[in-house]
Structure 1
Amino acid sequence: MIPGSPYLFRGFVLWRTRPGLMLLGMVPALLVALVLVAALVTLLLQLTDLVRWLTPFVEDSTDSVRVPVQVSVAIALVVGSLALAASTFVGLTLAVGEPFYAKIWREAELMLGGSVPDGDLSAWRATRDAVVLMGVGVAASVVVVVAGTVPLFGTVIGGVLGIAVSGWMLAGDLLARPLEARGLDAAQRSELAKGARSEVFGFGVTAQALFLVPLGAVVVMPAAVVGATMLARDLVAARDLVAAGESAPTADPSETF
């Protein structure tokens, strides 16, 4: 199993124990998803003309040259658009749904035990992180499209790279709320994430991959908020143990609420 992915899957526990709360978390995700689906449908309807516009240099070539190039560009555009939609979805949904996900985070903190951290949560942080995440999504999509001009392997390499970069940024964005509430600034959050790179990366990439499944993002987003809360608590606990001179235990995200 991918390191960090159990945190995401354990986040789905709230679908069984608090379905009403999780349905609430679907509202902003569903609204943003509808807008992005409409944009993707428009792209697909114009895909043939767009590919021809991007590949004028092969119009006079033989079919053995023109078809592979145009098919590769078409696949790259679709994959790149999906990556862009996924990243844009996350950024927009986190910004629009901040009150919804703040409520889910607080409930998750209570169910996991202890009081809810009372550190200041910056509204500007949510907006800033959303913009940064969307910017990363645009950059990743450009990489996918450019790489896709290389027949066959270019699209695969570009897609994997896009998911990897977007996944890392997504994990950092989801971890920001529970870590900021515990008094960690941006530099401290970054340092903490780097100390558990495999878990943070695995968590983010798993969530990002599931976001590419049709309507997956709508269902997964509330669970990802819960999973990020669990991961943040374990990261802070491990850091505190190390600071106290004790060995950090292996985190067990499989424990129930």
Structure 2
Amino acid sequence: MREAAAGFGYLFNGQRWVARHGRWFGIGLIPGLITLVVYAGALVGLGYGADDLAAWATPFADDWSSPWLGLLRTTLTVLVFAFGLFLAVITFTAVTLLVGQPFYESLSEEVDRAEGGEVPVSGLTLWRELWISARDSVRILVRVALYAVLLFALGFVPVAGQTVVPLIGFCVTGYFLAEELTAVALQRRGMVLKDRLVLLRGRRLLILGFGVPLGLAFLVPFVAVFLMPGAVAGATLLARELVGQGDDTDDEGDDGEGEAMLPSTSPHTVND
């Protein structure tokens, strides 16, 4: 549990970092606000249409007697909306990071700079970075979609579908949220998706401690927008820990007055 607590600590420290650097907090809000407007409209539409979708998907139940017809379609409507909300939480981060690539890249670099030592840079053009980010996000979302379909099916299992399955869903959500967010800093360190996943699997509790509370917070309307700048900052601090560049100074080093003990590294180029 110490690893999980440490992961939550990075999430908290990231929020504290942007609170101390108000300009970067304001800059980091812009992509989230744009994405929120789009997603809010999509979820409202899903909320209005989920019952019609449930009725369309279950024509075989039209002649069922009460209460079985209502129970089936109500359950399916709830599951459809929960499935959409699950995907929204996961894809919100990916889309926001893609929209805000230049903003969050600069924010992540500033966190590295404030923590001391060399600031890794990818050396790639903005369009190349956008392409790699979009491609990797699609690969992650395919993995998430497979989990989502499996969990959706398991949701019909009595008792476990209403207790254990949601817990697993939150863990999956948190894990991949952490992957998307740490990618901003790890891509600048030359790590491709395959290497990043291997790195994260080696510290699962640390990653879940960071990602699960964030995923739960993202379920609250508007919270995701305001947490995104701090989440990127915290993920950068987490990435430093994962690659052995954790700051050995106290929190006063946030303003760049202290120097962290960092290994001597050179900027890498992200490979295709």
Q: Which TM-score band (shorter chain)?
A: 0.7 to 0.9
Distance 1:104 1:55 in 2: 48
What is the Cα-based RMSD across aligned positions, in Å?
2.7
Aligned runs of 1:71-150 on 2, under 5 Å?
Answer: 71-120=74-123, 123=129, 124-150=131-157
Does the CA-based 8 Å contact 2:93-2:180 persist in structure 1? no
Distance 2:32 2:138 in 1: 17
Q: TM-score, normalised by structure 2?
A: 0.79
Q: Does 1:210 align with 2:235?
A: no
Q: How many residues align?
A: 246
Q: Does 1:27 align with 2:30?
A: yes
2:40 to 26, 33, 37: 37
Q: Does 1:221 align with 2:221?
A: no
Q: Deviations over 1:155-196 (max 9, x none)?
A: 544433333223222222222232232344444433332222
Structure 1 residues 231 and 182, CA gap change in structure 2 (3 angstroms): same
Structure 1 residues 139 and 223, CA gap change in structure 2 (3 angstroms): same
Distance 1:138 1:227 in 2: 26
Q: TM-score, normalised by structure 1?
A: 0.83
Structure 1 residues 254 and 30, CA gap change in structure 2 (3 angstroms): farther
Distance 1:253 1:158 in 2: 41
Q: Does 1:193 align with 2:204?
A: no
For structure 1, the residue ranges without an aligned partner over 5 or more in a row are 239-248
For structure 2, the residue ranges without an aligned partner over 5 or more in a row are 255-272
Distance 2:22 2:83 in 1: 33
Give the AA of the match of 1:204.
G
Query: Could you say which residue in structure 2 is the equivalent of 1:231?
Result: 238
Percent identical: 35
Structure 1 residues 90 and 22, CA gap change in structure 2 (3 angstroms): same
Query: Could you say which residue in structure 2 is the equivalent of 1:10?
Result: 13
Does the CA-based 8 Å contact 2:51-2:74 persist in structure 1? no
* 1:37 Cα deviation from its structure 2 partner: 0.8
Does the CA-based 8 Å contact 1:8-1:223 persist in structure 2? yes
Structure 1 residues 148 and 169, CA gap change in structure 2 (3 angstroms): same
